[in-house]
Amino acid sequence: MTTRQVLVSLFAGVWVGALLVAEWNPVGATALTMDWLVEVVRSPFDTKFIILILFMGAGAAFIYRSGGILALERAIGDRVSTARESQILTWLIGVFIFFDSYTSTVVTGNATRELSQENYSSREMHAYALDSTTSPVTTFGPVSNWIGFQVSMIIAGFEATRVTAQELGVTAFGLFLQSIPWNIYCFMAFFMVGFISITQRFFGPMLDAEWRARSTGATIKDDATPLSDVSADVGEPSEKNPSLVNFFAPILVLLVTGLVSMWYLGGGYEPGVDIATAFQETDVALGLLYGAFAFMLTGFVGSLAYRTMDLEEASETIIDGFKTMVIALAIIVLAWAIGLAAENVGTAQYIVDVMVGSGVPGGFLPLIVFVAAMFVAFTTGTSWGTMAILTPLAIPLSLELVGPSVLPVVVAMLFGGAIWGDHSSPISDTTVMSSIFAGSDHIDHVSTQIPFAATAAGVTVVVLVLYGLGLRTPFVALPLAFVLTAAAVLALNKLDARRKGLPEVMPEAEAIQSGEVDVERVENGTADERISSYSHLAPVPVAAVVVVTGYLALVFVFAMLGG
């Protein structure tokens, strides 16, 4: 909280843990810290995960630098002519980039930034659509580096509790799959981006930002300072022969290779082994590694086949892609190390003893974990660091206080709360990246996103209270959360629009510029609040709903493999 520097803070946490174990000998603590870092890197699971992260970065660099993203811009540019359509498109493209949140922010932001500004969508809204789409989508996968990291955290929780997958009756990957339907916050955050974009019903500071952009053409405030674009990390996209093949083929190969590899490694090809069992017993890190390698290789081959790069440029792109993942890798290694430090000093057992002795009702444990994860992630700015700190504590506590039945809910709430903090914290790396690639003022992005993130979190808290009172099935909790979220957005939109004298449904800039909407009457508070309406059967929203429905169906089929 003091330094606002996640790498320094995580290292300090590891070193302090080593200092305790080394009996306050600083030299011994430093040596032990190095030992712990080497130990986590040498773990077979962790080593495979480090390599797959690098391959993911290289594959994403090929999608961008080969001109695949440029081809996408050209293919969709003529079909998107309004702010509403550009917002929906940002949400839609984010669904396709489900394998890494950094990559999704870079690719989606670059693909839609100019369209958003040309159609007078505020940069604040563009940054929000990027930020609140990327993390939820990569959390669910079904093939992503987030899954590998989250499974590694669950493994750390098992190790802290001294139980095996056989004793619990579920593997770490199986538990992750079971947690997906309970990740209420991520589903609601993702849903809100699409719902608000399609209905054009805003509230809070975003309502003012969108009215400013539509009525004056100022997509950013006069006194705002947009963050610079860091696309120089991987170079400019190639203009030589941009093709949509170089955008879609690597993603499709990643998905197919990753899922087939996990199925095969789990023994799915053997007689009598069903799909669910294969996925629960698989080596998830190795399966994702195969998928990531195929992802990178497809990008490499496509770049050469379409002659968008020569061999030297393609080789440089691999290295540049590796570079984009350096910070992520540093956080990951330190996150693993702080989990090991907590295990060595007995943090988990201490927390378990305190909580069990306090008489906390077991049914409300997921709510406590959710709030704790929100707080830690908000103050540190890292969802992965939060998962690393809390997972080795939450799993032993859950088993001691309630038992295995609560683990899927606790894991889901820990991951969801960590992502809420990531969305709301001004020092979050993904929040900063969203501001960069939307060309938004960073503080304006944070201040406009927080009310939306708080709405999704509020609905999650309501569901968790009901869980504590006896609601135990996600197939009731999740649909209820969707209904509550939609109702909350509509109610807050009506209240805020009425209070500010602005339209409930935001009109397009063209309607304002043509005189169909009288700006003076609106700003004087004398205009009809219902001055705009949209067709929900237009091609862009229909396409978005169809694709998103298919994606969510895939996610739930994936989740059902957990049993």
Of the candidate ranges 125-139, 149-163, 346-360, 427-441, the one whose mean pLDDT is the lowest: 346-360
Please tell me the predicted confidence (pLDDT) of residue 324. 78
State the Cα–Cα distance between residues 540 and 511, nearest whole angstrom: 19
Would you say residue 83 has pLDDT above 90? yes
Q: What is the pLDDT of residue 230?
A: 44
Residue 417: closest CA among 130, 152, 184, 178: 184
Q: What confidence tier does 20 reach under pLDDT thresholds 50, 70, 90?
A: very high
The tokens of 273 are what? 């082994």
172: which residues sit within 8 A by CB, 6+ positions away? 151, 152, 154, 155, 158, 165
Residue 425 has a pLDDT of 85
User: Which pLDDT value is given to residue 526?
Assistant: 59
Distance CA 184, CA 468 (A): 15
pLDDT, tens digit, 9 for 90 and up, residues 361-391:
889 999 999 999 998 888 777 788 889 888 9
The confidence score (pLDDT) of residue 540 equals: 87
Please identify which residue in the block is written with the tokens 């007689």.
271
Least confident of 187-201, 239-253, 289-303, 330-344: 330-344
CA neighbor of 193 nearest in space, from 444, 386, 449: 449
pLDDT (average), residues 20-49: 94
pLDDT by residue (tens digit) across 245-285?
998 899 899 889 988 998 999 999 999 888 888 887 888 88
How confident is residue 29, by pLDDT bands cut at 50, 70 and 90? very high
What is residue 227's predicted lDDT score, i.e. its pLDDT? 61
- Confidence band (pLDDT; 50, 70, 90) for 79? confident
Q: Mean pLDDT, to the nearest integer, of 41-53?
A: 89
- Residue of higher predicted confidence among 164 and 291: 291
- H-state helical runs in 402-473: 407-424, 429-438, 442-468
Q: Name the DSSP class of 237.
A: P
**Is the pLDDT confidence value at 530 over 70?**
no
* Segments of 44-165 assigned E as strands: none
> Residue type for 2, please?
T
Closest CA to 438 of 86, 164, 157, 184: 86
> Do residues 318 and 55 touch, judged by C-beta distance below 8 A?
no
| Predicted pLDDT of residue 301 | 97
Average pLDDT over residues 496-521: 85
Q: pLDDT, tens digit, for every residue of 445-485?
A: 999 999 999 999 999 999 999 999 999 999 999 999 999 99
| Residue 352 scores a pLDDT above 60 | yes
Q: Which residue has the tokens 């998107």?
A: 80
How many H helices and E strands in the chain? 27, 0
Tell me the percentage of the chain whose pLDDT exceeds 70: 95
The predicted model gives 311-321 an average pLDDT of 93
Encoded tokens for 242: 């941009």
Q: Per-residue pLDDT averaged across 304-327, rounded?
A: 90
> Between 516 and 231, where is the model more confident?
516
Instruction: Identify the pLDDT of residue 384.
Output: 83
H/E stretch holding 29: helix 26-42
Q: What is the mean pLDDT of the chain?
A: 88
Predicted pLDDT of residue 323: 86
Token pair recorded at residue 115: 């369209």
Q: What is the pLDDT of residue 356?
A: 67
Give me the helices (H) in 121-183, please.
123-140, 145-161, 165-168, 172-179
